[in-house]
Amino acid sequence: MIPLWFRLCYLIFVAVLVPAYALEYGPVHFLWFSNVALIGGLLAAWLESPRLASMMAVAVALLEMPWVFDFLLSLALGGSTPLGIVAYMYNPDIALHLRLLSLYHLLLPFVLLWMVWRLGYDREAWKIWASAGCTILLLSVWLPSPERNINWVWGPWGQAQDWTSPYVWFGIVLTVCLSAWWLTHRVLLAVMPGLGRKA
């Protein structure tokens, strides 16, 4: 179902990205949902697992779209980032190879959706991911320093916020994520009827 050439290209890319990110940012950087989905998508491709592919699509297909939108607009605007999400892509203090590797955000949601289309959507995946995703959010609070602000658990756009309690903010993040995951699940059920296979 997933062509060998695709799986090999995916494997090579991740084999380059993981050590580069680990050396620069440390292991906690892989708590970002996008990195979880990238690696989970690789496993889904090689195992040809509908459940794993569906979980990763639910995780980021919608949440990655602001990154995609902001980056494409920044290209049209000559480097100005309307949402500020991809401002780091134009930061010369960040090594060029790291910024180039980060371009995977552009393709990731579409790759995962294509994999789900090929393998089938597992209707139980969103429940499993919701539990896993909430756990990752808690780990994003406990493990990294607040300055890392992984998954924006301390504030929006990578910056800590001070206008409300950290507990209230975490509740907002949790609500937004759960809503995005549920909405993605409903859309996939509507767009891909009859593909509710279970791995």
Which whole number is the average pLDDT over 69-73? 96
pTM for this structure? Answer: 0.93
Angle at which helix 125-142 crosses helix 50-60, to 10 degrees, equals 50
In 3D, which of 185, 66, 194 has the Cα closest to residue 130? 185
CB contact at 8 A, 27 and 144: no
Which whole number is the average pLDDT over 31-41? 98
Helix, strand and coil content of the chain, in percent to the nearest 5, comes to 70, 0, 30
Given a cut of 60, is residue 199 above it in pLDDT?
no
Given a cut of 90, is residue 28 above it in pLDDT?
yes
Q: In the prediction, which pLDDT does 197 show?
A: 44
Contacts 24+ apart (CB under 8 A), 145-152: 148/28, 148/29, 150/28, 150/29, 150/31, 150/32, 151/31, 151/32, 151/33
Given a cut of 60, is residue 162 above it in pLDDT?
yes
> What is the overall mean pLDDT for the chain?
93
Characterize 42-75 residue by residue with b for buried, 16 or more Cβ atoms within 10 angstroms of its Cβ, and e for exposed: bebbeeebbbbbbbbbbbbbbbbeebbebbeebe
Given a cut of 90, is residue 192 above it in pLDDT?
no
Q: Confidence band (pLDDT; 50, 70, 90) for 195?
A: low
Alpha helices in 61-165, H assignment, sequence order: 65-76, 96-101, 104-119, 125-142
Q: In the prediction, which pLDDT does 198 show?
A: 41
> Measured between alpha carbons, how far is residue 44 from residues 120, 138, 182 in Å?
12, 24, 21
More confident residue, 137 or 145: 137
Given a cut of 60, is residue 196 above it in pLDDT?
no
In one-letter notation, the amino acid at residue 41 is G
Given a cut of 50, is residue 85 above it in pLDDT?
yes
Q: What is the pLDDT of residues 1-12, one digit of tens each?
A: 899 999 999 999
Q: Confidence band (pLDDT; 50, 70, 90) for 161?
A: confident
Instruction: State percent of the chain over pLDDT 90.
Output: 87
Which whole number is the average pLDDT over 146-175? 91
Q: In the prediction, which pLDDT does 194 show?
A: 52
- Domains of the chain by residue range: 4-191
